[in-house]
Amino acid sequence: MELRHLRYFVTLAETGHFGQAAARLHIVQPALSMQIRTLEDEVGGPLFTRTSRKVELTEAGRLLLPEARRTLEQAEHGKNIVQRALRGETGLVRIGFAGNAVVSGCLMNDVRAFRRLLPEVELQLQEMSPLALGEALRQRTLDVAYTPLMGELAEDIEAVKIAEWPMMVAVAEGSPLAAEKRITLEMLAQVPHIQFAAGEGDEALEQVRERWGSEVPEPLYRASSTLGALAMVASGFGIALLPHSFTHMAIPHLVYQPISDRRLTAELLLLSRRDETQGAVKAWVRLALKNNHNETL
């Protein structure tokens, strides 16, 4: 039993006339008559009594009519749900992010804009280390990720740079570096370094090594979180390299200092899968790229 047979049946039952039903369905009358006969053959008996002036439902036809209407309504409802999902109006977007996406405001700007545009889409946010974000995308436990650049990306991952900031140095209040107007690479080579959460900040330290050489020491401490690293800096354990966007975070006994080499920068990337099919996820990526300066890597 096909949906078109039920649609023809309901239309004929409502009009009571083959000619009117055929006109409403935009088909010729002989074709409608043939489709109704096919439906009657399938159910095993007549659904209409036919006279020269009108068509009336049989008892079997009266039983079928409400069921046919429910079936057609459910089919239309299902089609609408799928079409809305394909347009990105419903569904789920799982968003992973590293700390800089929050302190810079990039993530919240995108979330607020997306919720205004598509309020029925469910959003799930999860903070993870940059290394874990890439793996979560590959394992399809996340749909998009906001992260700094972390080494080579898998071929099926699309990476777009959406923001960039100069690097700063976090130092303890009262330390010698806190009194300097601008920190040089030579100064960075003389003090202990504190590393951010797994993977975050590695790219900046590599930039320093490239420009100053191997004399830059390995990190003496690796904090489990961004706040942990800054707490260690404020307590006098060493310094930490971080993007300028982090300077919005006011922490007691912590001072942010500029670096003389302006080539030291931090990037924020938007990662997504190239083969993405979910409408809501594709809608998120389109909006994020529209909201931010972007450059495909």
199-235 confidence digits (pLDDT tens):
555 555 565 556 555 455 555 677 777 888 899 999 9
Query: Do 27 and 136 lie in a common domain?
Result: no
- Domain final residue pick, 52, 86, 120: 86
**Pair 81, 34 in one domain:** yes
Same domain for 269 and 193, yes or no, is yes
pLDDT at residue 176, rounded to an integer: 92
Per-chain mean pLDDT for the chain: 86
- Per the structure, the count of domains in the chain is 2
Residue 240's domain comprises: 91-297
Q: What is the CATH number of the domain that holds 43?
A: 1.10.10.10
Domain-terminating residue out of 33, 54, 86: 86
The reply to whether 168 and 273 lie within a common domain is: yes
Same domain, 158 and 292: yes
Residue 297: is its pLDDT beyond 90? no
Those residues with Cβ within 8 angstroms of residue 69's Cβ, 6 or more apart along the chain or in another chain: 10
Q: pLDDT by residue (tens digit) across 147-198?
A: 987 667 788 899 999 999 998 999 999 999 999 988 888 888 788 888 765 5
Q: Of the residues 35, 65, 86, which one is the last residue of a structural domain?
A: 86
Whether residue 116 sits in one domain with residue 74: no
User: Residues 293, 159: one domain?
Assistant: yes
Q: What is the pLDDT of residue 251?
A: 92
Convert the pLDDT of each residue in 86-136 to its tens digit. 777 788 999 999 888 998 999 999 999 999 999 999 999 999 888 888 889
Q: Do residues 128 and 200 both lie within one domain?
A: yes
Residue 16 sits in the same domain as residue 122 = no
Beta-ladder partners of 269 = 147, 161
134 shares a domain with 69: no
Quote the CA–CA distance of 101 and 99 in Å, as a whole number: 5
57 and 165: one domain? no
Long-range contacts of 32-36 (CB under 8 A, 24+ apart): 32/8, 35/4, 35/5, 35/8, 36/5, 36/8, 36/9, 36/12
